[in-house]
């Protein structure tokens, strides 16, 4: 009996799109229900009057700021989240006798400092944003360093079936001054500091898009 793999693949793809659409539709409905703040200074008053039992999920907007920003080594950009990667690029000999290009990650480092959103009326600290949906880091620098060729290195490469091409170093950053919308659980501690973090159950977004744009995009996926 022949199995129509093409038909099976189409069915699996359709099922995946259906589930994605349902999930996006639910997320859009949840985002419509979150509390919105006209300004960050209003959030403190909202927290004072909110239920102490149920978590308060809100949408806040402002510019990314920090009292101790990171400085990218390659580009000199200032940011609050910096990711550095180094990839070794090389050619390798396959079983057919051909050279094919490949790469391997040599280094992957992520750094983050305490940071907050500031809209001119107040500030709200953001915690755990790297795991938030919608977060986009800007490519601050991308440099390719070619490998030096020596007789010894060439001999070793030949014996290993490799030809080293060089190292690609990339810096990605969430720059200070970036306009950002964060949707998450708002909490105020004993000294009055307000934080936005991932809720135990509910949406967690950090996006350059406004809350209305997020809802619109999720609605399109649902359709």
- Angle at which helices 5-33 and 211-222 cross, to 10°: 150
**Residue 31 carries which DSSP code?**
H
What is residue 171's predicted lDDT score, i.e. its pLDDT?
96
Write down the mean pLDDT value for the chain.
Answer: 81
The pLDDT, as a whole number, for residue 222 is: 42
Whether residue 222 lies inside any domain: the answer is: no
Residue 55: predicted pLDDT: 79
Q: Is residue 1 part of a domain?
A: no
Q: Is residue 87 part of a domain?
A: yes
Closest CA to 109 of 63, 40, 170, 184: 170
Check whether 5 has a pLDDT greater than 60: no
* Residue 66, helix vs strand vs coil: coil
Q: Give the dihedral of Cα atoms 192, 195, 200, 201; nearest 10 deg.
A: 110
Q: Within 13 A of 199's CA, how many CA atoms are on the CB side? A: 18
Q: Would you say residue 114 has pLDDT above 80?
A: yes
Q: What angle do CA 140, 141, 147 make, to 5 degrees?
A: 165
Residue 178 lies in a domain: yes
- Asked, for residue 179, whether it belongs to a domain, the answer is yes
pLDDT of res. 124: 95
DSSP calls for 181-212:
EEEEEEEE-TT--EEEE--SSS--EEESS-HH
- pLDDT at position 80: 97
Question: What pLDDT is attached to residue 213?
Answer: 87
CA distance linking residue 31 with residue 209, whole number of Å = 13
Residues of the domain holding 85:
7-217
Note the pLDDT tens digit of each residue in 64-100.
999 999 999 889 999 999 999 999 988 887 777 788 8
Domain count across the chain = 1
**Residue labelled with tokens 């977004």:** 205
174 in a domain, yes or no?
A: yes
Tens-place pLDDT, residues 120-170: 999 999 999 999 999 999 999 999 988 766 555 555 566 567 788 889 999
Smallest CA-to-CA distance from 132 within 180, 83, 170 is with: 180
Q: How confident is the model at residue 127, as a pLDDT?
A: 95
Task: Convert the pLDDT of each residue in 9-61 to its tens digit.
Answer: 444 444 443 333 444 456 777 788 677 887 888 888 888 877 666 778 888 99
- Cα–Cα dist 45/42, whole Å: 5
Between residues 209 and 152, the one the model is more confident about: 209
Residue 84 lies in a domain: yes
Q: Does the residue 60 lie in any domain? A: yes
């Amino acid at each position: 009996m022949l199995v129509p793999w093409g038909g099976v693949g189409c069915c699996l793809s359709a099922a995946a799109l259906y589930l994605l659409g349902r999930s996006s539709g639910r997320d859009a409905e949840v985002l419509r229900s979150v509390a919105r703040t006209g300004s960050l200074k209003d959030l403190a008053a909202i927290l004072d009057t909110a239920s102490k039992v149920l978590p308060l999920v809100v949408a806040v907007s402002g510019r990314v700021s920090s009292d101790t920003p990171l400085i990218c080594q390659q580009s000199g950009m200032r940011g609050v989240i910096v990711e550095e990667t180094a990839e070794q690029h090389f050619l390798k000999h396959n079983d057919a006798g051909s050279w094919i290009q490949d790469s391997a990650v040599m280094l992957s480092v992520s750094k983050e400092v305490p940071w907050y959103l500031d809209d001119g009326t107040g500030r709200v600290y953001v915690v755990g944003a790297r795991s938030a949906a919608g977060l986009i880091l800007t490519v601050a620098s991308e440099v390719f360093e070619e490998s030096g060729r020596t007789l010894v290195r060439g001999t070793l490469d030949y014996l290993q079936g490799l030809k080293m091409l060089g190292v690609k170093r990339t810096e990605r950053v969430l720059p200070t001054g970036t306009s950002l919308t964060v949707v998450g659980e708002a909490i105020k501690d004993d000294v009055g500091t307000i934080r936005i973090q991932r809720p135990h159950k509910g949406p967690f977004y950090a996006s350059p898009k406004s809350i209305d744009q997020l809802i619109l995009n999720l609605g399109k996926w649902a359709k």
